Chains A and B, each alone.
Chain A
Amino acid sequence: MNVAIDATSQDPSEAANSGPAGCIRLGMDKPLELDGGGTLSGFRLAYRTYGRLNADRSNAVLVCHALTGDQYVAEQHPVTGKQGWWDLMVGPGRPVDTDRFFVICSNVIGGCLGSEGPKETDDATGKPWALNFPVITIADMVRAQKMLIDHLGIDQLFCVIGGSMGGMQVLQWAVSYPDKVYCCLPIATAARHSAQNIAFHEVGRQAIMADPDWRLGDYLNQGTRPTKGLSVARMAAHITYLSEPALHRKFGRNLQDRKSITFGFDADFQVESYLRYQGISFVERFDANSYLYITRAMDYFDLAADHGGVLANAFRVTGPDGRLTGTPVKFCVISFSSDWLFPTSESRALVHALNAVAANVSFVEVETDKGHDAFLLDVPEFYQVARGFIEGHAARRGIAAKVG
């Protein structure tokens, strides 16, 4: 049993319904065992919840955030003041309906918005962890989330949903805890990080580490911040989240507040100005070391490698008769036609593996020119598919349309 510092209630469902706030300490008795060796005990996990847990605790939905996301999925962000990052998906009347479901979203470990990560203080030294923080994996993030779910008194999640790195966590949940997930939606994701994905991440990391203010990761102790490096990392990554047609539609070769090119290196083009803005606004809310750790976790993700090189084996479970059988988890895999970072071919590979074990899987490639970021944007067909899948399975699971 994990001990929560701020939880005074003894009944776990009271813990779940006691309010949306939360940064708890988990793994006090039994530490979190990490893939890379070592453990984390008494680690912080920051989370938000929306809606109410029903009496039989069957209506919990876990939302997993992407690389630079956080737990503020459906409410104003405390740092940027912006709307929740997925308020098209999560909220009253949305596909993940907060009048119907109890929605949980936690900041991943390694993150920088309250959960244990390189920015937080290492209790052993009283100083920020910085590069002394252990390298973590997607599976480690999911193990930490599982501790949170246990703490909230939830035996089985109705649904786990997420896009991009969030989708990796979704897949890891289904693989690690097939009997704890009723259905799931891995969106714009893959069962492994490709060489190209790793390459882009390496560019970002090198940009951060090349910033003199990075100070070998020790910048928090030395009173500097590698904002230039982090900003360049974000600029490069941001390009990969869009598509060429989307960029062209938005900016073309339009000039920024000027009639002609200046024959200099100022931001002549709107697209340059846009990227610079993306970089600058990002550094206000994100920690450079966190960026290193989380991109690394994504790079290491490879479900097939964890299962003898055969992806389908990741989705085999031992049945009641002791024989291997297909996973009981129901999948809705969604990709976007213009996503070249996590292309449809990756989703198809996943679907083929699920078919090979006769899993219950739906798959849609949504037509859009909005690129990888489409899962965060207003693409009506995408939300229709998600809604249909979630409502269909909620009805089958016997979850009332409103929490009584």
Chain B
Amino acid sequence: MAVTSLLPPAAIRSDLESIVDWVEAGSRVLDVGCGDGELLHALVHRKQVDGRGIELSMDGVRASVARGLAVIQGDADTDLKDYPSDGFDYVILSQTLQATRHPRIVLDHLVRIGRHAIVSVPNFGYWRVRADLLLRGRMPVTDRLGHEWYETPNIHFCTIADMVALCQDMGVTIERSLILGADDRAVPAPADSVRANWLGVQAVFLLQRS
């Protein structure tokens, strides 16, 4: 029997924790690739947002709906075009951009649909990843990037520097960024710094179309 939890959720992943911090209370939020609804649930209960989700896997949608969340089964690559512009205050894409077929188009939709977009990406420029490739000559497999090359859902890897460049190219403003290093500790460095690109395991960006 499914249990509908209305209690505040337990501790969540650190990149998700910072997303919860950034979102204004009472706003409208769309979480693209919401998984089992962990982040959305936290946002609904701690920030009283009006939250919606899109998730590709049926298991994820079922778990989310069972939590009382409004989640639809859908694909970031194909379904975002049906959402009206400025329909949400925040559109969140957490650890998913690298798994889409057309990241640039997806990013374009994110800043169109939301007044802000919050995007987190694993950093392929992290020193361990670079070292793996340089010294071992093998595609890196880390905690965050835990798949062998032939089975990874991540088909468009990028570095933090790549993300910064893409945003510039698209005329998207990086309002805020957070670089998380080993053990999810914050790296005090701006996103466009060399340091961030070496030490960041992942980065979270708050974006806005210019």
Q: Which residues of A are interface residues toward B (Cβ below 8 A)? A: 330, 332-333, 351-352, 355-356, 358, 360-367, 381, 384-385, 387-389, 391-393, 395-396
Contact = CB atoms under 8 A, between A and B. Distances in A.
A19 to B, nearest CB: 30
Contacts of A391: 2, 4, 66, 68
27 contacts: A355-B83, A358-B28, A358-B84, A360-B52, A362-B70, A362-B71, A363-B61, A363-B74, A364-B58, A364-B61, A364-B62, A364-B65, A364-B72, A365-B58, A367-B58, A381-B62, A384-B62, A385-B62, A385-B65, A385-B66, A388-B2, A388-B4, A388-B62, A392-B66, A392-B67, A392-B69, A395-B4
Contacts of B64: 362
Interface residues of B, number: 27
A94 to B, nearest CB: 11
A366 B65 CA distance: 13
B84 A392 contact: no
Interface string B56-86: 0010011011111111111000010011100
B87 interface: yes
B28 to A, nearest CB: 8
Contacts of B82: 352, 355-356
B6 interface: yes
A392 B65 contact: yes
B87 to A, nearest CB: 5
Given A388-B4, A395-B4, 6 more contacts: A332-B65, A356-B83, A360-B70, A362-B64, A363-B71, A364-B65
Nearest to A337: B58
Given A365-B58, A385-B62, A392 B73 contact: no
A388 B72 contact: no
Interface in B14-37: 28
B73 A363 contact: yes
Contact of A387 (B2, B71, B88): B2
Contacts of B65: 332, 362, 364, 385, 388-389, 392
Q: Tell me which of A333, A360, A385 has the highest count of chain B C-beta atoms within 10 A of its own C-beta.
A: A385
A84 to B, nearest CB: 21
Given A384-B62, A388-B65, A364 B73 contact: yes
Interface of B: 1-2, 4, 6, 28, 50, 52, 58, 61-62, 64-74, 79, 82-84, 87-88
B84 A388 contact: no
A40 B206 CA distance: 60
Contacts of B28: 358
Contacts of B61: 362-364, 385
B83 to A, nearest CB: 6
Pairs of residues from A and B, 4 with the lowest C-beta to C-beta distance, nearest first: A392-B68, A388-B66, A363-B72, A391-B4
A356 B84 contact: yes
A314 to B, nearest CB: 16
B72 A361 contact: yes
Given A392-B4, A395-B6, A358 B71 contact: no
A367 B57 CA distance: 11
Contacts of B69: 362, 392
Contacts of A393: 68
B5 to A, nearest CB: 9
Contacts of B74: 351, 363
A384 B69 CA distance: 14
A396 B44 CA distance: 12
B58 A381 contact: yes
B68 A395 contact: yes
A388 B5 CA distance: 10
Nearest to A332: B65
Contacts of B1: 387
Nearest to B71: A362
Contacts of A388: 2, 4, 62, 65-68
